């Protein structure tokens, strides 16, 4: 069965299994207590968990799909002796494959990997903000996304720890229940650890009923997916393609939209620059997205235009 499934479904099904394994690594590093923090730049930490999770994800995907382009956040030599994760998530493997991806071979996919999104929050103990992001692109567009949240339910002894969400535009989503945001309220989610005067200016102009400040691009999009926020607004460079590829795929699969703050989608071709220089704007409902694009002031747009 597995070997006759389209490459895309095998890739998605393996990405789910590998993301779960990366979650185990992230919890293991934290429970051992020595995070091995390295400062890559201003307000840009990397830990042993970021490094080991990326080695695991890229090492495994490389073994299974050696001809595929895989781009990970961390700049590391790839070790060859990573623990093999050969499981395929059965539910995902048995999904219907989007028609246009049925015969696509591995060379034509590009995978964007953020082994640990929300590193600052991980080091500060805000563990539910942490996610593992694996986004799959084809012809510049996100066609599949996996978000694993290793500490889901960590405050609740009785429930299972961790969960994995996925989305395939045109097919659907799994691992969570999509919910709409509250009617008649404008709840905006934004950065907790990378605030700037321009980010603040954009937020004030939008006159939100509430501003939620949380860590990680993955976690912010999850708040949209489950109806806790209307839009994610980040009028600043800083986020990269690996932060947005998987979340965009899932959001699109449930009818939402993720673009730059001008309303233009990002391209996820392997030749693209990594930074999302024109900021991030996302909403679970495309009508809300349109409202936000129209209401972000031109002055802010001029300051975040990527040049």
Ligand X SMILES: Nc1ncnc2c1ncn2[C@@H]1O[C@H](COP(=O)(O)O)[C@@H](O)[C@H]1OP(=O)(O)O
Out of 191, 230, 252, 259, point to the residue binding ligand X (CB under 6 A): 191
Per-residue binder mask for ligand X (CB under 6 A), 223-262, x = binder: -----------x---xx---x-------------------
Selected from 144, 215, 247, 279, the binder of ligand X by CB under 6 A is: 215
Q: How far apart are CA 179 and CA 46, in angstroms?
A: 33
Is 191 in the active site?
no
What tokens does 187 get?
């709840």
For ligand X, the closer of residues 114 and 260 by Cβ is: 114
Write down the catalytic residue from 47, 50, 128, 190: 50
User: Is 116 part of any known ligand binding site?
Assistant: yes
Known catalytic residue at 287:
no
Q: Which residues of 103-141 are buried (b: 16+ CB within 10 A; e: fewer)?
A: ebebebbbbbbbbbbbbbbbeeebbbbbbbbbbbbbeeb
Dist. CA 267–CA 299, nearest whole Å: 24
Contact pattern from residue 213 through residue 252 relative to Mg ion, giving x for each residue in contact according to CB under 5 A and a dash for the rest: ------------------------------x---------
Q: DSSP alpha helices (H): ranges in the chain? A: 7-32, 48-64, 90-93, 119-123, 197-205, 217-225, 241-253, 286-295, 298-303
Helix (H) / strand (E) containing 59 = helix 48-64
Residue 61's CB is within 10 A of a number of other CB atoms, namely 22
Q: Is 117 in the site for Mg ion (CB under 5 A)?
A: yes
Residue 89 marked in a binding site: no
65-84 residues near ligand X, rule: CB under 6 A: 73
Residue nearest to ligand X (CB): 238
By CB under 6 A, name the one of 119, 149, 164, 259 that touches ligand X: 119
**Chain residue at closest Cβ approach to Mg ion:** 117
Find the farthest-apart pair of alpha carbons in the chain and give their distance in angstroms, rounded.
Answer: 55
- Binding segment for Mg ion among 94-102, 115-123, 251-259, 281-289 (CB under 5 A)? 115-123
Alpha-carbon distance 119 to 44, whole Å?
8
Q: What is the Cα 281 distance to its own chain's centre?
A: 14
Take residue 157 and report the two structure tokens written for it.
């002894």
Residues with catalytic roles? 50, 119
Contact residues for ligand X (CB under 6 A)? Answer: 43-44, 73, 114, 117-119, 191-194, 215-217, 234, 238-239, 243
């Amino acid at each position: 069965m597995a070997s006759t499934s389209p490459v895309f479904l095998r890739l998605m099904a393996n990405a789910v299994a590998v993301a779960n394994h990366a979650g185990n690594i992230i919890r293991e590093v934290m429970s051992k207590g020595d995070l091995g923090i390295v400062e890559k730049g201003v307000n840009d930490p990397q830990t042993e968990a970021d490094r080991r999770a990326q080695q695991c994800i890229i090492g495994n995907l490389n073994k299974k799909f050696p001809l595929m382009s895989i781009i990970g956040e961390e700049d590391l030599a790839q070790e060859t002796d990573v623990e093999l994760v050969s499981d395929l998530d059965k539910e995902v493997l048995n999904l219907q494959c989007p028609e246009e991806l049925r015969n696509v071979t591995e060379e034509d996919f590009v995978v964007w990997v953020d082994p640990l999104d929300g590193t600052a929050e991980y080091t500060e103990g805000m563990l539910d903000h942490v996610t593992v992001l694996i986004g799959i692109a084809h012809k510049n567009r996100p066609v599949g996304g996996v978000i694993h949240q290793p500490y889901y339910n960590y405050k609740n002894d009785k429930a299972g720890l961790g969960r994995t969400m996925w989305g395939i535009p045109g097919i659907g989503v799994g691992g969570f229940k999509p919910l709409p945001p509250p009617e008649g309220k404008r709840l905006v989610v934004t950065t907790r650890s990378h605030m700037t005067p321009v980010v603040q200016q954009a937020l004030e102009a939008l006159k939100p009923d509430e501003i939620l400040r949380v860590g990680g691009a993955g976690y912010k999009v999850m708040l949209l997916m489950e109806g806790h926020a209307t839009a994610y607004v980040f009028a600043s460079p800083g986020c990269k393609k690996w932060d947005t590829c998987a979340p965009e795929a899932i959001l699109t699969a449930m009818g939402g939209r993720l673009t730059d703050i001008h309303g233009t989608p990002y391209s996820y071709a392997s030749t693209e620059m990594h930074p999302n220089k024109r900021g991030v704007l996302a909403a679970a409902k495309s009508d809300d997205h349109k409202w936000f694009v129209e209401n972000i002031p031109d002055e802010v747009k001029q300051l975040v235009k990527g040049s």
